[in-house]
Amino acid sequence: MSDDSGIIHRIEPGSKVDLRAIDPRRTPGLSGSKEEERADAERLHGENIAAMRSLQYRLWAEQKQSLLVVLQGMDTSGKDGTIRHVFGPLNPQGVRTRGFKKPTPEELRHDFLWRVHKHTPEAGRIVVFNRSHYEDVLAVRVLGLIPEERWRQRYDHINDFETLLHESGTRVVKIMLHISKDEQKERLQARLDEPDKRWKFERGDLETRKLWDDYWAAYEEAIERCNAEHAPWHVVPADRKWYRNWVVSSIVRSALESMDPRTPPPAPDLDGLVIE
């Protein structure tokens, strides 16, 4: 077992969430100079990856359970980088990622979980959502796209949906990459200033940035209302990318360990079989 349970930044179900009280630059679980901390985080992250590879192999062989990782966070919070560093090293045959952007006209003509449900993982598989059904109580709320009574109903719908997944063998793990407004400023500026990052810059991100406080309020309520023992939220300090990577790999490793996937026992009727 990993001993990272203290640093996975899980929000206790039923508790309030105050994002202002969670410093996105903190690195609890590490000590020493920043260089020492970084070296430790990278080493520990590497150990997590090795453990996750072995767990993924067993999950695939077992063919009974699956894992859904929901990644959320403000623009530039590092969702893409997290996927590259945490899930990139796994066997791609057993991992799928799925991004959810603005719904298509076809998707809007269905309930909000219709497009999401299609992409949940089957037995043996890990799926990572880059944004998710939570945007339907985040962006949709902040931008006022539907009346309040309608997005409020969605907390129950999400809880019901995640309960269905859980009771069907899918572990649901939800992660908010938590960056500071200052850190976002630097990252957006870098996208403007560095020619090979310019393609990532979107003008719309500046509009979203103006709504920072509204988004945080929406995140806080969504996390509070949709945080179950069987589908917990984690708020990961993400200003430092090396810390974020280590924490997320620790969360995923810990989830896989608690699922305890097992390679099926050898079939006894194959004992002594000789390939001629």
x/- contact string, 109-148, with a copy of itself (CB under 8 A)? xxxxxx--xx-x-xxx------------------------
Q: Are 99 and 130 in contact (CB under 8 A)?
A: yes
CB 223 within 8 A of CB 236: no
- CA distance between the termini of the chain: 41
Report yes or no: 24 and 183 within 8 Å, Cβ to Cβ: yes
Range 160-189, binding a copy of itself (CB under 8 A): 160-161, 163-165, 167-170
Q: How far is the CB of 117 from a copy of itself (least distance, A)?
A: 5
Give, in order, the Cα–Cα distances in Å from 232 to each of 81, 118, 196, 265.
22, 22, 37, 31
* Torsion angle of C-alpha atoms 29, 31, 33, 36, degrees rounded to 10: -70
CB-facing half-sphere around the CA of 105: CA atoms within 13 A: 0
**Candidate residues 5, 15, 54, 63; the one interacting with a copy of itself per rule CB under 8 A:** 63
Contact positions with a copy of itself (CB under 8 A) in 196-235: none
Q: Shortest Cβ distance from residue 164 to a copy of itself (Å)? A: 5
> With binding defined as CB under 8 A, does residue 258 bind a copy of itself?
no
Binding residue (CB under 8 A) for a copy of itself from 35, 106, 196, 229? 106
Contact between 61 and a copy of itself (CB under 8 A)? no
Applying CB under 8 A, which residues contact a copy of itself? 63, 106, 109-114, 117-118, 120, 122-124, 150, 153, 157, 160-161, 163-165, 167-170
